[in-house]
Structure 1
């Protein structure tokens, strides 16, 4: 069935006590939001064992998903299945899961590339034992409400523009946002039974506002092909939960460069393209250099690596995710240095 956020959230919360929903399909571009729902299922399942699969695995072994959903753990404990990077190639695996005679372990599938009109989403919507939710990054008042809602769960009342400021600082990533709110709640000694007000001064006190200048410097070092400079910037930003915001900002930069490079390939001069896009004067020199250095295929390859790195951070988290993101950024910078 096609579900809204409230419906799928309620069903996920009941999953630990059994339920008739075998599959929670989360599609759409907001991978961070989808991963947040997956973590919510993990909390609902308590100490249950988690089984991790991905789209390529299910493409080569379509029956694996139904098997894992029906199997018992070694000691008979609860299990649940998380699938990341799912796409249309997993349609057969999904259909086998939904048609299987038994499937006691709930499955949450994150499918950012699945189309709303594709077989994958249509199968989940048509099934009574599945829920499909389209995940889009919240904007405007929805973003502020999201931040305020998470804060409320931790006993915080975000005053003034604090909710939007925290959402923007987290780059729209719910996991990063939650960690920053947790830090703020700890600093203010807040809890649901002892709520506290949080304003801009409190944010500044814990350093929850990210240094955008440092992030921009790291991004330019990546695109310009200066791995040594990038390494120093990454070291300075270590521990600030910058991975997701930086990767998303870098992705936006690469997309913009790809659009501009497409115009150059069509016959426009780089100078004309830069003027047409009204590039900020401080960024004109670097943009012109990038347009002459990178071609469309190289920008596409770099963008794919950045998106894969973001998925890795969300799936791995902690030190593993940070190291993986740094490795990918440095790999891109080294490749750029050879262009």
Structure 2
């Protein structure tokens, strides 16, 4: 069935056990992913168990079998399919017709046609829930930021929310990541809420990094070692550039991950680049094309985990660690050169 916007939050926070299949689709892929992650929490902090769409196409019964299996080590889990399309429709049909299911199936489909077999199935069946995410703009995105902040223990004024919306290009996933880091820095949570001020945004916000700061992460991911070393040498001694560099690198990795997933599902790099259209600045296209060819999804995930761990380490200390930043970037550059 099609999700009702007014009741969507409660449907994700307190999922109906009768719902076996959730389809999040639409042009706002970051918003769909944010909703899917909210659902995992509602399912008891369920762990993602990734199943590839092509494997479901090859064996439609496998999806129902996997959803009906008990977790080996106990705990909750959710079957996660991304990217999803009509190739999983037959498998979803078998899932919905099965006598029982232990785990919910969550599918992220991006933009799909209204005539999609998968969409029609999800909207028509009472044991399925479908929601279309549109990119929020203006006041809508400000309200999203304020609500995301509340869940992180942050009180956010409209002017601050507007700045965060602009700095993250209305991307809910990046905004949520930003707010999580602000909350960590301020020591905020729902039991100990704090005001998010301009000073914190100036220090840590996504718009605090200049183009040369973003360039450091791009040079590392592209394996351009000599240029990277030169840029690192230009950083002022004792400065606080580590956090902006890591934040820009995280945003790049977050952008690359779903694109690379499509490549590993069988799409060519050229077709993935074409699908991005005007959402990608033309000067960045050669770089992104190279990075999609060099970095696998697994390596991107590993890189993102290391970057997040280093940022957390730096943020919990009064001084930035420039040596650790340089070591991290050089390590990424070496990995890229080995792949390239």
Q: TM-score range by the shorter chain?
A: 0.5 to 0.7
Structure 2: runs of 5+ lacking an equivalent: 233-240, 260-268, 310-327
SS in structure 2 of the partner of residue 145 of structure 1: helix
Structure 1: runs of 5+ lacking an equivalent: 263-276, 278-282
Larger radius of gyration: 1
Instruction: Check 1:163–1:242 CA distance in 2 against 1; reply closer, same or farther (3 A cut).
Output: farther
Match of 1:243 in 2: 250
Match of 1:7 in 2: 7
Instruction: Check 1:47–1:180 CA distance in 2 against 1; reply closer, same or farther (3 A cut).
Output: closer
State the Cα distance separating 1:198 from its structure 2 match.
Answer: 2.2
SS in structure 1 of the partner of residue 102 of structure 2: coil
Instruction: Check 1:155–1:321 CA distance in 2 against 1; reply closer, same or farther (3 A cut).
Output: closer
- Listed as ranges, the matches of 1:81-160 within 5 Å are 81-160=79-158
State the Cα distance separating 1:128 from its structure 2 match.
Answer: 0.8
Instruction: Check 1:241–1:215 CA distance in 2 against 1; reply closer, same or farther (3 A cut).
Output: closer
CA–CA separation in structure 2 for the residues paired with 1:187 and 1:302: 34
Contact persistence 1:171–1:248 (CA under 8 A): no
CA–CA separation in structure 1 for the residues paired with 2:304 and 2:296: 14
Instruction: String of CA shifts for 1:113-144, please: whole Å, max 9, x gaps.
Output: 53232111111001111111112222211111
Instruction: String of CA shifts for 1:268-293, please: whole Å, max 9, x gaps.
Output: xxxxxxxxx9xxxxx9xx96xx99xx
CA–CA separation in structure 1 for the residues paired with 2:51 and 2:229: 32
CA–CA separation in structure 2 for the residues paired with 1:212 and 1:246: 17
CA–CA separation in structure 1 for the residues paired with 2:219 and 2:23: 38
The two structures have a TM-score, normalised by structure 1, of: 0.67
Instruction: Check 1:181–1:32 CA distance in 2 against 1; reply closer, same or farther (3 A cut).
Output: same
Contact persistence 1:65–1:93 (CA under 8 A): yes
Contact persistence 2:216–2:245 (CA under 8 A): no
Instruction: String of CA shifts for 1:40-93, please: whole Å, max 9, x gaps.
Output: 222223364532112222222222111111111235543321111112211211
Q: Once superposed, what is the RMSD of the aligned Cα atoms?
A: 4.6
CA–CA separation in structure 1 for the residues paired with 2:230 and 2:136: 33
CA–CA separation in structure 1 for the residues paired with 2:226 and 2:82: 33
The two structures have a TM-score, normalised by structure 2, of: 0.67
Match of 2:23 in 1: 25
Instruction: String of CA shifts for 1:236-258, please: whole Å, max 9, x gaps.
Output: 76532533357759x9xx99xx8
CA–CA separation in structure 2 for the residues paired with 1:316 and 1:42: 23
Instruction: Check 1:104–1:189 CA distance in 2 against 1; reply closer, same or farther (3 A cut).
Output: closer
State the Cα distance separating 1:181 from its structure 2 match.
Answer: 1.7
